[in-house]
Structure 1
Amino acid sequence: MKRFQSKILRTYSIVIGLILASLGLVLGQLYPIFVHHSTVVLIDSKMEQIATDLATTELSKEEQSTIKQTLNSTLQNTEMANEQQSLWLFLFFILFITFLVALFLGANIFKKYAQPIEHLTETAMELARGNYRIRAFEDDFSGMSTLSNSINILARNLHDISVMRETEKERLKTLIENMGSALIMIDRNGLVTIVNRSFLKQLQISFENIDGKLFRKIGLPDKIEAFIDKLFLTESSSREQIQIKRNLHTYYMDAYGAPVIGEHGRWLGIVVVMHDITELIKLEQVRKDFVANVSHELKTPVTSIKGFSETLLYGAYKNEDTLLSFLEIIHKESNRLQMLITDLLDLSKVEQVGYEVNLSNVKLKDVLDRCIEMSTHLLEEKEIELALAVEDSVKVLGDSNRLMQILMNLVTNAITYSPDHTILHISIFKDNKYGIFRIQDEGIGISKKEISRIFERFYRVDRARSRNSGGTGLGLAIVKHLVEAHHGLIEVESEVGKGTCFTVYIPLVQS
């Protein structure tokens, strides 16, 4: 802008200089002619006066002629000096007036044209710097209104585009920050440019170690670094399932990476999106185990039923003792098969999302009495003594039949895994929030590493003992889901060789 002003000033100075020089030359040529004519007239007038005066004097004609010539020369010299002085004064006056007029005109021209151009230039510079809120003055008098209006339209359009870009940027940032998948973007130099919260959380990385750092120096697991190196090397999309071990736990990530391509096909870097599929892997493994276990559990009774029935068909039925023995086995295996199917149906029902029990006021002692009545023959077979410590007034908010199912499973397991001639302790009491029943046996116990798995489907601490007792391996899984359906809790304490204690908490009836 300063160069533009200096150019205008320089041009204006040259123009004024040329005007003044031309004016000076013109005046210099015209003024002497005018002054010379005036001087001649003045000298002639003075000489006539001198001639008149000399005529009255008593001088000879030669003396008078000499005097006239001398006076004429003197007058001419004097008048010429006066003429030169007057000429310079006149020229200075004319030039000064011309300068003032030119200065006035120049100021008006500068104000009318140069200042609007200067302002438009400043406005354009501000737009170039990204200040899209600035506007140019729209002055019709300056003749720049069309240009000013065009710049203002451009500024408004740029401002609208800037607002739209900021809005889209915020939307994209919000989307990236709140997406469940982990995302990281790395430029062509290997520097991290974008990373979201899910990435930091899943990989347990601090944000301070991320911004603008080389991806190799932010603490990524080795397998993820190798995956990123592969993307940089091939410059093509890739997908892998990555296993990460951290803090004695194993995690599985489904990683997808792709190159980021800019305008004109320029390679800008890569983007990696990762999904935590650990739960999916676990569920898939549970499904496989479930299918394998169900197949195994079904295979045993079905094989027995088929084998003994075929033996009978081939003539064993003719022996009455053999017939009765085989029929008892077939009946027992049929009951076991029926129990397995019933437990599978129960487990399927209680595992459904939104499963609810029919809640009512239930007295825990009544549930226990029914359970003991149904378990008496099992206790008598193993000569297990029952030790009861029951508070008669404990009432809970629950489903009587489902509570019976919980208690029956726990008591049956306690009897099954207890040696003969032991004591089974059952107590019922309450605290401020829960009605509590506790079943403690003197059985084989459960190791600490197995306690966390006893509520899994088909998991058995002692498979041979459980299968021989007719158990399906689904009882504790059903118990866990039924307790949760009552908004209760279940705890397990055990020591190998000394026994196991199950404690169940069911919410009390609120008065």
Structure 2
Amino acid sequence: MKQDWRGILIRRLLLLIGACLLLGLITGEYAWALVAGLSAYLYWNLRQLLRLHHWLQRSGPDELPPESSGVWGEVFDAIYHLQKRNQRARGRLQAVIDRVQESTAALKDAVIMLDRQGNLEWWNRAAGTLLGLKRKQDGGQPITNLVRHPRFKEYFEQENYREPLELPSPVNDHVRLQFQLTLYGNGEHLMLVRDVTRVHQLEQMRKDFVANVSHELRTPLTVITGYLETLLDNVDEVNPRWRRALQQMQQQGSRMQNLLNDLLLLARLEAADYPADNKPVAVDLLLLSIRNDAQALSGTRNHRISLDADATVKLKGSETELRSAFSNLVFNAVKYSPDGGEIRIRWWADAAGAHLSVQDSGIGIEARHLPRLTERFYRVDASRSINTGGTGLGLAIVKHVLIHHRGQLQIDSVIGKGSTFSCHFPPAQVVRR
């Protein structure tokens, strides 16, 4: 309230008290005169308060305030102007909301707002098309009740949304969707869903092409290498000029066979989301076998290969796939470590899950190469891969095996000191003896 109205009220109250005292002097009843005067004043204020309450409760958006004088007239006018400002602000805000909803409704991608518990709050028209959401029935429902794929539930609960998730649509199995979650505000979720069926089909065509070509090449390559082996078994009867050529042809044929085997293995891994068998694997015995093979691969290079494996920790999954992934890491350490180098293999478990680390004393890898090491045919040094007989698919196979087993690959390397390849598996995959 402004200062001038406070003074006016005080003066009016003093004037009222003075009039009541004058009336008491005339009638000789000072107390009754004061009570009557103050009661009349209180009645008038209560009446104005009731008029204000009635106006606020029942008035329309454009209805003028009731007529009054003095400070109550100022109160009525101030509240009326405040209402008008709020109406204009709500109108501007509603216009912004309407434009946002219109723009998101025009998107072909689904936009879904979820609360902290994952319950549906709002979604656009595309969400109804892609996910089958119904406006009247699904509001407030948990999103995991409507998208019931087990991989989506794991993805939602892990709260690690750096990578998107691809799944079939719950409405149409022939439609492939990409889910991307983002946290905002006070733990709320914004989910974007995109139709990637076309991209998925192109990727599937590429995979099928690679798998089919690899399969078709195996038969002629087997015939060629077979005849080469026959010729080399009878090398004494072969013209000496052709001996070196035959040996190089056999070497390259063997390299092509390894490449085809890796391509076919990678195609099988990409074709399935989870391993065919999901049984507890004794990783310590598996690593012991791989260590012995690595020592044989080292041969005269005399690498020192140590193994520290917790025999009480098993891993749920496919032993064949895990052998392929772990042996790739260990054999790479042997190939790229200098003669007499040290290789350390460690398998252990803690509260975060199970872990495998393969540490070598090689030349190391530059940091710019690390993000691309798991790409197919990516080589840090092409000439070095040719010398070691690598196909460029080993780490791609490791990546897909870890995806099957819900694991992650971590690569740490220092130039001149070596590299450490670590596989991390969640507690759900761990079985203790």
Shorter chain as normaliser: what TM range?
0.3 to 0.5
Name the larger-Rg structure: 1
Structure showing the higher helix proportion among its residues? 1
